[in-house]
Structure 1
Amino acid sequence: MGRRIKKKDIDEELLDAIFTLEREWKQIRSLIERSIDPMESSILRENLAQAKYLYLLREARHRKISAVRYN
């Protein structure tokens, strides 16, 4: 039998993913803002990163996870 996965471990992984995606999204957005003529693929990547980030935020809210508790 495998080790049982704890809710706390999953919640911490979710928060790590949220922070990582937030940095990625903001970095892409910053590059696009500094570009004179941003490529369409860059804009699509920004939209995808934003959608993933917002989805994970909704999941965290649904699970009632607070980043303050895990710091």
Structure 2
Amino acid sequence: MGFLRRKSIRKEFDEKLIQQLFKQKEEWNRQKKLVANSVEPSPDILFELKLAQAKYFFYLREAKKRNLRLNNWK
């Protein structure tokens, strides 16, 4: 009984992880476009870009650790 509950909780958190991964990828791409369109990007904008990139790669590594298949999502 506990095994089934654990499996359903894992699936729920895997789905949330995938949603966050795609959301963070969009944010990172938005930040990259902002920097590309800027004549002289401020240090704050560059910081936000690096932060978005770090978050995206964190979610990507976590998905890889959990052996999630991304082609079935979205």
Q: What is the TM-score when the length of structure 1 is the normalising length?
A: 0.88
1:16 to 7, 14, 19: 19
Tell me, in whole angstroms, the C-alpha distance in 2 between the residues paired with 1:42 and 1:15.
26
Q: What is the distance in 2 between the residues matched to 1:62 and 1:11? A: 11
Gaps (5+ residues) in structure 2?
A: none
Q: What is the CA deviation profile of residues 16-63 of structure 1, one whole-angstrom value per residue up to 9, with x for unaligned ones?
A: 000000000100110110100101000000000000100110000000
What is the percent sequence identity of the aligned residues? 32
RMSD: 1.3
The TM-score normalised by the length of structure 2 is: 0.85
Q: Which residue, out of 56, 61, 64, partners 1:53?
A: 56
Q: Following superposition, which runs of at least 4 residues in structure 1 exceed 6 angstroms of deviation? A: none
Which ranges of structure 1 fall in alignment gaps of 5 or more residues?
none
Greater helix proportion: 2
User: What letter is aligned with 2:60?
Assistant: L
